Structure 1
Amino acid sequence: MEPFSSHTGRTVVLRRSNVDTDQIIPAEFGKRISRHGLSDALFARWRKDPAFILNSKEHEGATVLIADTNFGTGSSREQAVWALREWGFAVVVSTRFGDIFHRNALRNGLLAVVLPDEAVASLMDRAEADPAFEISVDLTKCEVAAGQDRWSFSIDERARWLLLNGLDTIEVTLRDAADIADYERSRPSWLPEIPRGSGSTQARAGTR
């Protein structure tokens, strides 16, 4: 992932509360395992309506989604985050997120920011009044700015560190690849191991 320290972008408002992951990306797209090529699936059912906000030409290129409360509830579906990222969103702002969606977002490079009700209401009104309305999000300061207004937000410190450094949990592990390899080479041969290349998950005792 690319490091995330700050972002300024145009906004688009989704005035629908309790949007679940099946609405963000319908279940029929859940079989896709790639993080790429999912933009066509984002809000696929709703986008059949020409009046749906993401079909608006004036909102093309918006990178900040201002969502109503309880965004991303429902099942764990990382594709929901991938689709939002593929569409071009770098930040989602709401008063409340589904817990699993919130964790998935932060782990996959999408900054999900929780702000107070009055802050989100103000941002929604201003964004709807002006399609060119922009907000700035500074992850180093944990602050959202719009014009002269400023709001602080909280974020899990490990998630913040991962975003600032452009790392996911696998990449963090791979930073210790040399130490892991040294351990594997020194590991006693009589300990159980998983056969390599067999696809089996059953441990067996064997020589190395």
Structure 2
Amino acid sequence: MAGRLKAPTGRYGGKSAKERQAERRRRFLDGALQLFGAGPGYRGTTVAALSEAAGLSTRQFYEEFRSLEDVLAALHLQVNGWSEEAVLAAAAEVADRQLSERATAIFRAYAANVTADPRRIRITFVEIVGVSPRLEEQRLARRAQWIDLVCAEVAAAVARGEAAPRDYRLAVTAFIGSVNGLLHDWSAGWVDATLDEVVDELVRLLLGILQPADPRVTGP
């Protein structure tokens, strides 16, 4: 398809064209979460199958998306957006706490959100990988946003004297890789631990990276 078909305008069934479009888009993304995230996966799904799962037509599909890759791209950003909302809410609740408490609350919120639905894990860590240069760029750009978020937390810890001042971006990049890998392996059943134990280990990793400016400042 060179581009999307023109969507209808005007009110129908008490809903505006914009409201109907948003509902169609949501239904396609809900269907994609099931098909891409639970089976048969992105590579095994067709436009016809996704349209059927959404209870819509293929014509309506092409009114919203150019391709299944566009759907996967939108779904990947949506799943990450849900996790980021959970993290920011948790960070706001512990804004005045020490680093160890903040880190625990933040990573517990992230882990709880992303593992609450196994389909989200698959979208975030499996289906998005290696699809195309475009989606690889999106995946890495979205990961960079997580790195920026953690770096901001680290910078605040440095300002409070809870960590030694230095450039932590490389260390945080490696840490985010550990977060992704450990949570994926845990969800796949390869890690014999509870989710709380996984989060506690991740917090210990982060605190180990952040050497305190004052040796009397320690984490749990």
* Structure showing the higher helix proportion among its residues: 2
Q: Same fold (TM over 0.5)?
A: no
TM-score by length of 2: 0.27
Larger relative contact order (Cα-Cα within 8 Å, sequence gap ≥ 6): 1
* Structure showing the higher strand proportion among its residues: 1
